[in-house]
Structure formats: C-alpha cells, structure tokens
Homo-oligomer: A and B are copies of this chain.
C-alpha cells in the first residue's frame, strides 16, 4: 500500500510482466461505481458512438493548440485544436459541440488547481469521439487512463512550437500527478518563475500542445485498430480508494488504510 514516489508507475508496469495484466484493470473499472448499464434512450443524435474521425497530424494539431492556449487556455485549447480541425474535415457532430465552453478548465478548474486542463480536455475528447464505457466501448476510458499516467510521468513540456513566444529554453519537469497545482508548482520551483510570468504561461501552452500531440497519436492508433492500452493502474483495485499513485506526496510515510468492510 505504501508506495514511494518515482516507483509507482514502474511497479504498475511490472504487474503486466507478472501476469495480472490489462484484463485485471478492465475488471476493476466497474469496482468504482457498480453495475454498468446500457445507455438510456433519452440521448440526442450525438449519443451514438464512435463519432466519425479522420487521422490528424500530431505536430500540426499541437501547433494549433499552442496558439489556441493564448485565446482559450489549456483545456479548451486541447479541445479546440481537435474539434476545430474535425469541423472542417467532417462537420457534424463537431460543429455543434460547444468547445469554447471549456475555458473554465484553466488553472485546474477556475484556478482551483485540481486536474490540469490539458489531461481534462484530452479525457473529454477521447470519450466524446470514442464513447463512454456505459455504451459498452472501453477505449475512450482507457485512453483517458493512459493520458493521466503519461502526463504524470513525462518530463513536460515535450513539444516546442515553430514560432515560440518565449525564445529562451524552458525547463522540463515531471509532476508525478495530473493536478495543475503540482504540475505548475514543480515547474515554477525549477524555473524560479512566478505564475504570472510570460515563461510560465508559455510553458503551460506547450504542455497543452504536448498533451494533444500524444492524444492524437493514441486516437490515430485507435482509428487504425492498433491502439493498445499502456496504463494498468487502478487506485480502486490497488488502494481501495480513488486516487493518484503518489500517496506519499501528501501523506508522507503515514498513508492511511481505507476501510475494507
């Protein structure tokens, strides 16, 4: 139960090798909420999945996302960089999806530092296009799991725009978490830059672009029938509570045991 930061994802990965594997993670999905039922009959025409998709260019999407950040910030930039292209290439149902409504994802939802808008936006896109697990489709949920893990363990940003607004080199930091507060805080400490600095803003624009770059890779693989989930992490199964793998970051050495009854 008591995992050390840094070893959590490696520990998770080892489980694949020793045979618990992806099926165990899949089975755990339902542990959180109970019975999975079929989607209700109340939905509109867009409640049918998957939505039509054509492969996008990861680097081109990331460039769009980088620039969109300066208009609508992290979450809506991720969403718009994909929805905007699919509106042009496909049309509906993307035309009717109100992408700009998601500006509030900024700063970990209206500045509260919870989930970073970049994975939050990526999770929306994956489930919007592929569909929810309650519809009997699991790849959207699994891509969201992969995004959460990738975001947490990757030194970000990975993407450098063609025409960056900040030309100085920006440090890369690993957040060990999908939370905005930890991701931004660890970068600010490393870079010694304030929240309001142009460097912090450009770092976050590049993090959004880096995230959508990886999301497009996963969506393209799914479209080609080549998508393989990489994350087998399930907090419900491993810890008996929803949560991140970085227990000691907040709990220190005294990680509590949740009730098992």
Q: Name the B residues within 8 Å of A31 (CB-CB).
A: 195-196
A114 within 8 A of B: yes
Q: Name the B residues within 8 Å of A201 (CB-CB).
A: 33-34
A54 within 8 A of B: no
Contact with B along A51-82 (1 / 0, CB 8 A): 00000000000000000001111001000100
Q: Name the B residues within 8 Å of A73 (CB-CB).
A: 32-33
Q: Name the B residues within 8 Å of A132 (CB-CB).
A: 72, 76, 100-104
- Nearest B residue to A181 via CB reads B243
A189 within 8 A of B: yes
Q: Which residues of A contact B (CB under 8 A)?
A: 28-29, 31-35, 37, 39-40, 42-47, 49, 70-73, 76, 80, 84, 87, 93-104, 106-115, 119-120, 123-124, 126-128, 131-135, 140-141, 144-145, 148, 178-181, 184-185, 188-189, 191-197, 201, 234-236, 240-244, 249-250, 252, 256, 258-261
